Chain A
Amino acid sequence: GAVVSQHPSRVICKSGTSVKIECRSLDFQATTMFWYRQFPKQSLMLMATSNEGSKATYEQGVEKDKFLINHASLTLSTLTVTSAHPEDSSFYICSASNRAGKGYNEQFFGPGTRLTVL
């Protein structure tokens, strides 16, 4: 099956620093990647959708200047949390899909990245 990886799996940083999270599709070309955020004991909330070579589309309430998303290749998308603060501490999960096929294009989820901002 399709595999999506994320790196790092855990990161701890100081308040005010920036953190980059990578999402890779290992065995397929991901034309679309999605970034979700999950606060403790809560559901996943879609943050943004990125199509390869295009600017990401952010959901309402998500600051695009704070959460920088780059999808420069068909196998890699990055999420950079700029000037991180403790309230940004969360579990960040990416998913990837290949829209080349007909019908529904399944999303494959990465294992997630636990961000802790001190």
Chain B
Amino acid sequence: AQSVTQLGSHVSVSEGALVLLRCNYSSSVPPYLFWYVQYPNQGLQLLLKYTSAATLVKGINGFEAEFKKSETSFHLTKPSAHMSDAAEYFCAVSVGGGADGLTFGKGTHLIIQP
């Protein structure tokens, strides 16, 4: 079975600083990996996804992530944090090509300090 570990339940950065949210996965087969953002009392919005093409994936709102097989990681970064980035971020893995449900990490709450 696959799993996702997100290091840090809360991450605080200053506005304009680098955002780094960590995600490590475990999978016995090549995975599909995702980052989602969730604002309070709302559903999920897809930030970006890795589906076995380029290992450096660019997403919306200036976010990007790099798939590193050797490190089993898929960390999310953004060069300059904005106040509107404050939200809950979830890393997720799928191994069934869309036929299976996603396995989510526990989430990281991103706090942006003014």
Contact = CB atoms under 8 A, between A and B. Distances in A.
B99 A43 contact: no
Interface residues of A, number: 26
Interface string B1-22: 0000000000000000000000
A111 B42 contact: yes
Contacts of B44: 44, 93, 109
B51 A107 contact: no
A99 B104 contact: no
B106 interface: yes
Instruction: Give the interface centre of B32, B98, B106 by most chain A CB atoms within 10 Å.
Output: B98
B97 interface: yes
Contacts of B52: 104
| Interface core residue of A49, A91, A109 (most chain B CB under 10 Å) | A109
A46 interface: yes
B41 A107 contact: no
Contacts of B103: 46
B49 interface: yes
Interface in B21-51: 32, 36, 41-46, 49, 51
Contacts of A34: 101-102
Given A43-B104, A93-B43, A99-B99, 15 more contacts: A6-B43, A34-B101, A34-B102, A42-B106, A42-B107, A43-B90, A44-B90, A59-B101, A104-B52, A106-B98, A107-B98, A109-B36, A111-B42, A112-B41, A114-B41
Interface of A: 6, 32, 34, 36, 42-46, 49, 59, 91, 93, 95, 97, 99, 103-107, 109-112, 114
